């Protein structure tokens, strides 16, 4: 059209980014694409492209509010029962365990940033659940955040060892990360002692004991449990703890049905925070999914490790029935 004053060389409207203008009109002023096209003097198809770009560039964020899940009947019941600060129950209508787990992880990931404040020191546990949470975190900068690896690393076949989990979380939140560069378990208590006295490691230990918030999951005490498959304990060792009443695993340590730590032969060889140090912190975010972890989750809640819980609906149901 010769009437058109001049062709845009860069996508600008009165000199600036037209993509943002389009996104504002669409998402804030809720105009339809036709009106936007008219107003910006482009075709509607172009507006579609602009909006797509705005979404891709992350200018527009669509998220579900935590209220949707914390207002859930089961969420309220669990919150009351265990005296938690907040609980999210994610619906899992007829979904497979994997899919439900993914939803829970995504919900936890969305929720996490809003629970952190500048200056926080966040202790991070490890496992598939925690890794999934990290993976679903949107990059958001939390000023002056420190992420701490609570237990030593263990090579897992799946690639989510403790150091990976904490680094990943830290990267997503642009946080300082303090890793604990030792295995989660060593062969003898003597080796453990030597390591703990090593200057560098001692200072790392010193760092990781100073945290005010935690992000963690719990493991079951079944023979196919994570604690066995990752090599922290043998089936026989696990059985020993189970015989002493072990119901769940928290940061590699065994806890009984009331959440109390169970001392045993492995503890002296383990490298990482003890369960007693996890207790009664300002904020403890427990992410828990799958039926076989329900007893462990109940134990952790009774033990007072968590102030916040994210779980799926069917776990939430079992959790309430099994603990009443």
Partner DNA sequence: CGCCTTGTTTGACAAATGTCAGCAAGGTCT
Partner DNA sequence: AGACCTTGCTGACATTTGTCAAACAAGGCG
Question: Which residues form the interface with DNA (CB under 7 A)?
Answer: 7-9, 11, 18, 26, 32-34, 42-46, 48-49, 51-52
Q: How far apart are CA 284 and CA 11, in angstroms?
A: 47
Q: Which long-range contacts (CB under 8 A, 24 or more apart) does 162-165 make?
A: 162/124, 162/125, 162/126, 162/272, 164/126, 164/131, 165/124, 165/125, 165/126, 165/127, 165/130, 165/131, 165/134
Closer to its own copies by CB, 16 or 276: give it. 16
Q: Minimum CB separation from DNA for residue 99, in Å?
A: 20
Contact 124, 166 (CB under 8 A): yes
End-to-end alpha-carbon separation of the chain, Å? Answer: 75
Residue 64 touches which member of its own copies, DNA, none, C-beta under 5-8 Å by kind: its own copies
Q: Does 304 bind its own copies (CB under 8 A)?
A: no
DSSP state of 137: P
Residue the block writes with tokens 């600060």 = 85
Q: Minimum CB separation from its own copies for residue 138, in Å?
A: 9
Of 19-27, 150-158, 184-192, 295-303, which part binds its own copies (CB under 8 A)? 19-27
Residue 34 touches which member of its own copies, DNA, none, C-beta under 5-8 Å by kind: DNA
Q: How far apart are CA 176 and CA 313, in angstroms?
A: 34
Q: Minimum CB separation from its own copies for residue 219, in Å?
A: 27
Closer to its own copies by CB, 114 or 199: give it. 114
Of 52-60, 146-154, 249-257, 295-303, which part binds its own copies (CB under 8 A)? 52-60
Q: Does 157 bind its own copies (CB under 8 A)?
A: no
Q: Minimum CB separation from its own copies for residue 89, in Å?
A: 8
Q: Minimum CB separation from its own copies for residue 95, in Å?
A: 10
Q: How far apart are CA 173 and CA 213, in angstroms?
A: 15
Q: Does 58 bind its own copies (CB under 8 A)?
A: yes
Q: How far apart are CA 50 and CA 128, in angstroms?
A: 37
DSSP state of 11: S
Contact 227, 270 (CB under 8 A): no
Q: Does 73 bind its own copies (CB under 8 A)?
A: yes
Q: Does 90 bind its own copies (CB under 8 A)?
A: yes
Q: How far apart are CA 289 and CA 313, in angstroms?
A: 9
Which residues contact its own copies (rule: CB under 8 A)? Answer: 13-14, 16-18, 20-21, 23-24, 27-28, 39-40, 54, 57-65, 67-69, 72-74, 90-91, 93-94, 103, 106, 117-118, 313
């Amino acid at each position: 059209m010769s009437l058109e004053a001049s062709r845009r060389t860069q996508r600008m409207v009165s000199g600036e980014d037209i993509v943002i203008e389009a996104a504002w009109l669409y998402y804030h002023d809720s105009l339809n694409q036709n009106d936007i096209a008219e107003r910006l003097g482009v075709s509607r198809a172009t507006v579609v492209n602009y909006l797509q770009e705005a979404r891709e560039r992350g200018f527009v964020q669509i998220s579900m509010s935590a209220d949707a899940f914390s207002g859930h009947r089961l969420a309220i019941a669990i919150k009351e029962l265990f005296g938690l600060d907040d609980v999210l129950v994610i619906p899992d209508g007829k979904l497979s365990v994997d899919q439900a787990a993914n939803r829970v992880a995504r919900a936890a990931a969305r929720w996490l940033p809003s629970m952190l404040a500048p200056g926080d020191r966040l202790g991070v546990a490890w496992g598939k659940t925690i890794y999934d949470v990290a993976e679903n975190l949107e990059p958001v900068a939390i000023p002056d955040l420190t992420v701490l690896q609570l237990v030593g690393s263990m090579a897992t076949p799946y690639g989510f060892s403790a150091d990976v989990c904490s680094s990943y979380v830290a990267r997503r939140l642009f946080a300082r990360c303090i890793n604990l560069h030792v295995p989660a378990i060593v062969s003898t208590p003597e080796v453990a002692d030597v390591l703990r006295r090593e200057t560098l490691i001692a200072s790392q230990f010193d760092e990781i004991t100073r945290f005010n918030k935690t992000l963690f999951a719990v493991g079951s005490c079944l023979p196919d449990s994570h604690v066995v498959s990752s090599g922290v304990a043998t089936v026989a060792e696990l059985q020993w703890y189970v015989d002493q009443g072990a119901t769940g695993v928290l940061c590699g340590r065994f806890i009984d049905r009331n959440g109390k730590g169970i001392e045993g032969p492995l503890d002296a060889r383990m490298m990482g925070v003890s369960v007693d140090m996890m207790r009664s912190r300002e904020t403890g975010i427990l992410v828990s999914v799958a039926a076989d972890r329900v007893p462990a989750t109940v134990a952790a809640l009774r033990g007072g490790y968590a102030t916040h819980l994210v779980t799926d609906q069917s776990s939430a149901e079992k959790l309430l029935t099994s603990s009443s």
